Homo-oligomer: A and B are copies of this chain.
C-alpha cells in the first residue's frame, strides 16, 4: 500500500471538477483542499490547535527555510517535523527548488544541483535532487516534492525545454533517493507556457509512476487566461487515480478555476500574508481593516462566519483598532479568519460538486467576485 492514495468520490458530470479523499500516514482529508503554509515550521501567528479548530487537514512547510534553519538534523532528532512543531495531521514539504532558483545571481546551477548563498548568514549551501529528498526524509513529511526548476515567465522555448528536461532527470534522482515507505513523492510538471513541453514533461513523469503530480511553473506572472489554458492542457494529461496539486495558488477566483480543471490541492501564503497587512477575506470581497469606514462598525468580519474571530463576536471596529495600534492579536484574528474562510470556501466548492451544482456555484461566485473587485 503506497503512503499516499487518492480516492475519487464524485466527478462533476460537465467539468473536470472532482471531489475526493487523500489518505496519508497522518490522516485523510477531503479534496479539493487548501493547504495553509507554515514556512518555518509555524503557520504565521497561528497555533496547531487553531489550525485543527478551523479544519485544516494538511499544511505545507518549506524545505529551503528548514534546511537553513534549524537544519534537518535537528528536526530529525526532535522526532520529525510533526513532533517538532506539534502538528499530528498531514504535512507536505516543497523541495526548496522554487526558493533557490528565485535567488537569481546568488545561485549557480549544474546538472548535479544548485550552489547558493544562505539568505540568513551568507554561507555557501548546496541543494540537489538527492539532498532535497534526504532533507525531506529527515523532516518526515507525508508528501515530498521533487526538486525542480520553476522556469521564469517569460522565458524562451529553448531555455524552458532544457530546464524541463533537467527537472525530469532530477525527478528520477529524487525517486531513486527516497527509501522511506511512509512518505509519498510527487512529481512536478514543468514546461512553462509551451503545451508540447508540458506534454513531454507530464508523459515522462507519469512513466515514473509517482503517487501524485503537481502542476508547477504557473501563477508566475503570466496572464490568468494563459494560466488556465496551460492548466487545462496539463491536467488532461494526468491520471485520474492520483492527486493533482496546483502550486502557489490561493486567491478564490484561481481556486475555483483550478477546481474547474480538476485540481485537488492548493497552497499559498496569501491568506496569512494579507492578514498581517490588515486585510480580511470575505465572500463579498476584501476588507481593508485600516479604512475609516470600519471605525464604528460593530459587526463581525462576516455575518454567519464560523471562524474564531467571528463566532466570538470580535468586531470590525476592534480589529481595526488592533491593526492600527500594531497589536499582534489583530493579526492573529485576521489570520484565523482568512484561513477559515479558505477552508470554508473549499468545503462549499466540494459540496457543490457532491450535489452536482458546481457549474452554477462557479458562475454565481465569479459574478459576485468580479462585482466586488470593481467596488
- The residues of A with any CB-CB pair to B shorter than 8 Å are 40-47, 49, 65, 69-70, 74, 77-78, 84-86, 295-296, 298, 312-315, 317-318, 320-322, 324-325, 327-332
B77 touches A296 (CB 8 A): yes
Q: Given contacts A70-B317, A317-B78, is CB(A46)–CB(B86) below 8 Å? A: no
Query: What residues on B are CB-neighbors of A47 within 8 Å?
Result: 329, 332
Q: Output the nearest chain B residue to A41 by Cβ-Cβ distance.
A: B321
B317 touches A42 (CB 8 A): no
Q: Output the nearest chain B residue to A326 by Cβ-Cβ distance.
A: B40
Q: Given contacts A42-B327, A296-B77, is CB(A86)–CB(B312) below 8 Å? A: yes
Query: What residues on B are CB-neighbors of A298 within 8 Å?
Result: 77-78
Cβ-neighbour of A84 out of B74, B318, B325 (below 8 A): B318
Cβ-neighbour of A74 out of B44, B313, B317 (below 8 A): B317
Q: Output the nearest chain B residue to A85 by Cβ-Cβ distance.
A: B318
Query: What residues on B are CB-neighbors of A77 within 8 Å?
Result: 296, 298
The 20 listed contacts between A and B (C-beta, < 8 Å) are A41-B318, A42-B330, A44-B327, A44-B328, A47-B329, A47-B332, A65-B325, A70-B295, A70-B317, A70-B324, A74-B295, A74-B317, A74-B321, A77-B296, A77-B298, A78-B298, A78-B315, A85-B318, A328-B331, A328-B332
B321 touches A69 (CB 8 A): yes
CA distance A283 to B331 in the complex (A): 32
Q: Given contacts A85-B318, A312-B86, A314-B86, is CB(A42)–CB(B74) below 8 Å? A: no
